[in-house]
Amino acid sequence: MSLFAFIGDDELRKQEALEAAVAKWQTQGRTQGGESDCQREVWFGDDMRWEQAAESFQTQDLFSSRKTIIVKNWDKLHAAHQKNLEEVFRSGNPSVTVFLTAEKLDGRSALPKALKAAGALFEFKLPYEDKIPQWLSQRAREKYGRRLNLVDAQLLLDTVGKSLAELDHELEKLDTFLPKGGAINAADIQDLASPLKVTGIFEFQKTMGLRKKADMLPALRNLLENEFKDAPFVVAQMLFGHFLTLLKIRVQMDQGMREQEIIPTIKRPPFIVQKERYLEQAALRTTEAWKKLLTRLARFEMELKQGRYPHRFEVEMAFAAMV
């Protein structure tokens, strides 16, 4: 049975592995002229008719001696239709190889066990968010031949968001525009990475930290109308993390520590700490004021999750009271 399955929620690596496997199969049938003698068909479980895929599997192509059948979103296909197709695929056809993609396979089916036993089941799980900087550093090194330290990788994550496809696109863009072979640093990311996620949140955090009342509402509305639409509690979570960092800075300032001593302790690129004026933000409130504000923000986040602020103006007023 020439059947392979690629499963998991990491769409980037899943698609890359699929294409590599398909390419390997197709190159086995190249003609003397170097062209691939292999027909490629792509079906989608969301809207396919299983009978047509079965017929294609069993029918010789008129123009090619070999065939590739890719069924994407296999798990979206009705279970009964999956079972019918499994039986067809198990019947075997040496001129056809089938590749399935899905987020997961039905554990009640015999298919996952058979694929796993044959070494034809490949799983790709998204890394947890705290592991993405490590993934980025490794990806930059292995795919682009560039150094990217974990602190700057975290900045890229903060700027772009946790979509691996988008992050890889930004790495590719950085690799294209920067001198070949050099490291990727915070200044490069600030200059070149597309702010799909956090230029807005950075601006809002900075506005709140610097207590700029006139700029707070426009920055907040931009977030609530775009990236964080219908999710104000996420804004509260991210602001809590920022304020917690500012509290740590304020405590160290009270202890007489200097900027060059403080920066290494807060796990942010020095470039960003200076550009976003972290120390200036921290200095605008006392340690006690930061602690009270964090308590208030934590309670606000919980209330948002409970639906206590059904109207956006209530959310805006609550944030405004923290400036």
Which pLDDT tens digits describe the chain residue by residue (323 residues)? 589 999 999 989 999 999 999 988 888 755 555 555 788 899 999 888 999 999 999 988 777 888 999 999 999 999 999 999 999 998 888 899 999 999 999 888 888 888 999 999 999 999 998 899 999 999 999 999 999 999 999 989 888 878 888 899 889 989 988 888 899 999 888 888 765 554 478 888 999 999 988 888 888 888 888 777 778 888 999 899 999 999 999 999 999 998 888 988 887 777 778 778 899 999 999 999 999 999 999 999 999 888 888 888 889 899 989 98
What end-to-end distance do the CA atoms of the chain give, in Å? 65
* Locus of tokens 């800075």: 249
3-class secondary structure, 171: helix
Model-level pTM greater than 0.95? no
DSSP H/E element including 60: none
- Vertex 101, ends 128 and 65: CA angle to 5°? 145
Which of the 8 DSSP states describes residue 36? Answer: B
- Which one of 3.40.50.300, 3.40.50.2300, 1.10.10.10, 3.20.20.140 gives the CATH number of domain 3-123? 3.40.50.300
Contact 74/100 with Cβ under 8 angstroms?
yes
Q: Which residues pair with 102 in a beta bridge?
A: 7
- Which one of 1.10.8.60, 3.30.300.30, 1.20.1070.10, 2.40.128.20 gives the CATH number of domain 129-192? 1.10.8.60
d(CA 99, CA 41): 10
